[in-house]
Homo-oligomer: A and B are copies of this chain.
Amino acid sequence: MALRTAAQFLAGLRDNREVYYRGERVPNVVEHPELGVAARHASIDYELAENPKLRELAVYREGPSEGSGEYSAYYRVPRSSQDLLSRSKLIEAGTTEGATLVLLIKEIGTDALFALKRVLGRSGDTDGIRRVEAFYRRCRDNDLALAVAQTDVKGDRGKRPSEQSDLDMYVRVVAKRADGILVSGAKIHTSCTPYVDEVIVLPSRSMGPGDEPWSLAFAVPVATPGLRLYASDYLHGTDDPFTRPISTNHKMVETLTVFENVFVPWERVFYVDRPDLAGATALTFVEFHRFTAVSYKLPLLDAMVGAAIAIAKANGIDRAGHVRDKLTWLGGYAETVRGLTELAALRCKVENGVAYPDVFTTNMAKWTFAREFHQAIETLQDLAGGLLATGPGGMDWNSPEVRPVLDKYLSGAWPADRRMAIMNLIGDLTTRLYGGYQAILAVHAEGSMEAEKMAMFRAYDPSRSIGLAMRLAGLETNAGAK
């Protein structure tokens, strides 16, 4: 199979998938005025291979034993620090083409598949491994787009899946048949579902005895009967390209992903009834996925730093001491995230030939990103000024009567058109719907800060530090082991 083009990808979305948007069934996602924007944004993924500057990053080749074709590099199993760095660069490049919005139609899916390989590999479930491998090759060989549905709707957070009053609060097996299983329940926060080919479904937490029906992993095509996608309209209203230079053309859509007696043939069931694998799958997935996350945050951070420098110049305040201080802080913040991301790859652990980004460093990068992101927003808003909220809209800008007034009065150290272009970029990034969207992603996507801190706590190897402290205190080290 050859790599697909963006057009082929979009053509592939024309099926009987059941998508709801703003209360109505969507007959055709690609032609829909809003979901179509999201689908076309995602399709940028398929253009990377055609971009001469990015082709090297975006495509890889495997020898005869793996077929003779070229594949999307997202599907390359990382074997080394260098592979992880390349994957990170690819994700960064894709997100840059996406104008700071991640494409996410292969990143997250391969994170899930790599995680499933590891978990099943460790468990020795050879049949499960075979099914994952087969699915992986199918996706890779057909250059498919993937979503991952992980977060369950959870119901009462104080109860396990089997204790919920409504058993559908976590996705579960409701029946087993000779040819497969039937699943019901719902996942939330599933990104890109309306415009991918396949949905991979993973458990979202550790399970225990009694949670067998909820302990499963599988994949289905989006157009499977009984699978219904309720898409969020959060970014509805971002249709003024003057004030929303990014979000008018770039959207991502999340769904409430409902399964009602969805049939999954055995070949697509990676495992079922395995409470012992559920927690490991959830954790291993996020270990990969947070590395994806910090990689795709980098263009956003760069755009923020660059916009901050530009607006300081456009406003004519770039020589003020406090402005330099804020720019330096912002640059230091962005570069710390970038540096730690790079280090997470350099410090990878290789297990059975697969390279895993260092868990502590990855989480440290993500936590650094998340915990200071709102300060970065504040800094940008501070440097930009009140025009973020009081400035003109696109209809003003395009009015022959109004425009001359704006040109005259909204100039600063830069003329009004250039100044407002940067101002509106900052507004889109930090203040309006897309800004709020990125803020929520910063706080919640790929796990909360609490989850990141917990991962850091668990992954920290205290032997060097506690050994030193004990030695300095004149004590034997071993008694103080973690």
> Does any Cβ of B come within 8 Å of A307's Cβ?
yes
Of A153, A340, A473, most B-chain CB atoms within 10 Å: A473
Residue from B342, B381, B472 within 8 A of A99 (CB atoms)? B472
Interfacial chain B residues near A402, Cβ < 8 Å: 20, 23, 230
Distance in Å: Cβ of A203 to nearest Cβ of chain B: 17
A405 within 8 A of B: yes
Task: Indicate if the CB atoms of B472 and A246 lie closer than 8 Å.
Answer: yes
Say whether, besides A232-B391, A335-B360, A412-B156, A469 and B321 are in contact (CB < 8 Å): no
Main secondary structure on A side of the interface with B:
helix
Note all chain B residues with C-beta closer than 8 A to A321.
320-322
Q: What residues of B have a CB within 8 angstroms of the CB of A303 in the complex?
A: 465, 468-469, 472
Q: Which residue of B lies closest to A425 (CB)?
A: B473
Q: Are B306 and A465 in contact (CB under 8 A)?
A: yes
Q: Are B443 and A382 touching (Cβ within 8 A)? A: yes
CB distance from A388 to the nearest CB of B (A): 5
Interface string of A289-331 (1 = CB under 8 A from B): 0000000000100110111011001011100111011011101
| Total A residues in contact with B, Cβ cutoff 8 Å | 141
For residue A313, give the distance in angstroms from its CB to the closest CB of chain B. Answer: 6
In the complex, what residue of chain B is closest to A332 when comparing beta carbons? B364
Partner of A467, one of B246, B306, B364, B368: B306
A472 touches B310 (CB 8 A): no
With a CB–CB cut-off of 8 A, which chain B residues contact A233? 392-393, 395-396
A475 at the interface (CB under 8 A from B): yes
Q: For A23, give its contact among B232, B367, B395 (CB under 8 Å).
A: B395
The stretch among A43-51, A56-64, A110-118, A434-442 that forms the contact with chain B is A434-442
Say whether B332 contacts A456, CB under 8 Å: yes
* Contact yes or no, B468 A302, CB < 8 A: yes
Which among A128-136, A263-271, A273-281, A444-452 touches the partner chain? A444-452
Does A22 sit within 8 A of B, measured CB to CB? yes
Question: Do the beta carbons of A462 and B306 come within 8 Å of each other?
Answer: yes
CB-defined contacts of A408 to chain B, threshold 8 Å: 166, 168, 186
Q: A23-B402, A436-B432, A472-B99 are in contact. Are A480 and B310 (CB under 8 A)?
A: yes
A79 within 8 A of B: no
Whether B392 pairs with A453 at a CB distance below 8 angstroms is: no
Question: Is A82 in contact with chain B by the CB < 8 A criterion?
Answer: no
Per-position binary interface string of chain A over residues 78-120, scored 1 when its CB falls under 8 Å from any chain B CB and 0 otherwise: 0000000000000000001001100000000000000000000
A selection of 6 A-B contacts at a CB cut-off of 8 Å is: A154-B412, A157-B412, A158-B316, A254-B386, A256-B405, A303-B465
**B-contacting residues of A (Cβ < 8 Å)?**
20, 22-24, 96, 99-100, 151, 153-158, 166, 168-169, 186, 188-189, 228, 230, 232-234, 236-237, 245-246, 254-256, 258, 299, 302-303, 305-307, 309-310, 313, 315-317, 320-322, 324-325, 327-329, 331-332, 334-336, 339-340, 342-343, 346, 360-361, 364, 367-368, 373-375, 377-378, 381-382, 385-393, 395-399, 401-402, 405-406, 408-413, 418, 421-422, 424-425, 427, 430-433, 435-437, 439-441, 443-445, 448-450, 453-454, 456-457, 460, 462, 464-470, 472-475, 479-480, 482
